[in-house]
Amino acid sequence: MFAIKAYFVAFIIALAVAYFVTPYVKRFAIKVGALDAPDARKVHTCPIPRMGGIAIYLGFVLAVLSSMHVNHEVFGLLLGGTAIFVVGIIDDLMQLPAKVKLLGQIIAAGVLVLFDVRIEWLTNPFGDMLYLDYLSIPVTILWVVSLTNTVNLIDGLDGLAAGVSSIAAVAILLVAVQMNFWVVAVLTAALAGSAMGFLQHNFNPAKIFMGDTGSMFLGYMLAAISILGTVKSAATIALVVPIVALGLPIMDTAFAIVRRYSSGHPIFQPDKGHLHHRLLAMGLTQKQAVLLMYVISGCLGLSAIALTEVNSNYGVGIIIVLLVAAVFGAKKIGVLKATGSVKSH
Q: What is the pLDDT of residues 161-195, one digit of tens each?
A: 999 999 999 999 998 888 888 899 999 999 999 99
Q: Is 341 helix (H, G, I), strand (E, B) or coil?
A: strand
Q: What is the pLDDT of residues 188-200, one digit of tens each?
A: 999 999 999 999 9
Q: Is 167 helix (H, G, I), strand (E, B) or coil?
A: helix
Residues 208/50, Cβ–Cβ less than 8 Å: yes
pLDDT at residue 341, rounded to an integer: 44
pLDDT at residue 343, rounded to an integer: 36
What DSSP element (H or E) covers 129? strand 129-131
Banded model confidence at residue 268, pLDDT cuts 50, 70, 90? low
pLDDT at residue 56, rounded to an integer: 97
pLDDT at residue 231 is higher than 70: no
In-domain check, residue 187: yes
Least confident of 32-46, 81-95, 151-165: 32-46
What does the alpha-carbon distance between residue 19 and residue 11 come to, in Å, rounded to a whole number? 12
What does the alpha-carbon distance between residue 56 and residue 68 come to, in Å, rounded to a whole number? 18
Q: What is the pLDDT of residues 316-328, one digit of tens each?
A: 788 888 888 888 8
pTM, 2 dp: 0.89
Q: What is the pLDDT of residues 69-96, one digit of tens each?
A: 899 999 999 999 999 999 999 999 988 8
pLDDT at residue 2 is higher than 70: no
In-domain check, residue 19: yes
In-domain check, residue 48: yes
Better pLDDT: 71 or 254? 71
What does the alpha-carbon distance between residue 187 and residue 172 come to, in Å, rounded to a whole number? 10
End-to-end CA distance of the chain: 48
Cis peptide leading into residue 266 (ω within 30°)? no
What does the alpha-carbon distance between residue 85 and residue 213 come to, in Å, rounded to a whole number? 5
CA 60 to chain centre: 14
What does the alpha-carbon distance between residue 248 and residue 250 come to, in Å, rounded to a whole number? 5
CA-based max dimension of the chain = 58
In-domain check, residue 175: yes
| Amino acid of residue 187 | L
Banded model confidence at residue 344, pLDDT cuts 50, 70, 90? very low
What does the alpha-carbon distance between residue 222 and residue 187 come to, in Å, rounded to a whole number? 9
pLDDT at residue 193, rounded to an integer: 97
Cβ burial 265-294 (10 Å sphere, 16+ → b, else e): beeeebbbbbbbbbbbeeeeebeebbbebb
Average pLDDT over residues 265-274: 69
When divided into structural domains, the chain yields a total of 1
Structural domain of residue 6, as residue ranges?
Answer: 2-246
pLDDT at residue 125, rounded to an integer: 55
Banded model confidence at residue 128, pLDDT cuts 50, 70, 90? low
Torsion of CA 272, 278, 280, 286, to 10 degrees: -90
In-domain check, residue 73: yes
* Highest mean pLDDT out of 99-108, 151-160, 244-253: 99-108
Banded model confidence at residue 339, pLDDT cuts 50, 70, 90? low
Report the candidate in 22, 16, 65, 17 with the shortest Cα–Cα distance to residue 203. Answer: 22
Average pLDDT over residues 107-126: 84
In-domain check, residue 292: no
What does the alpha-carbon distance between residue 194 and residue 189 come to, in Å, rounded to a whole number? 9
Banded model confidence at residue 41, pLDDT cuts 50, 70, 90? low
Pairing of strands 48-49, 121-123: unpaired
What does the alpha-carbon distance between residue 186 and residue 221 come to, in Å, rounded to a whole number? 13
The DSSP output letter for 342 is -
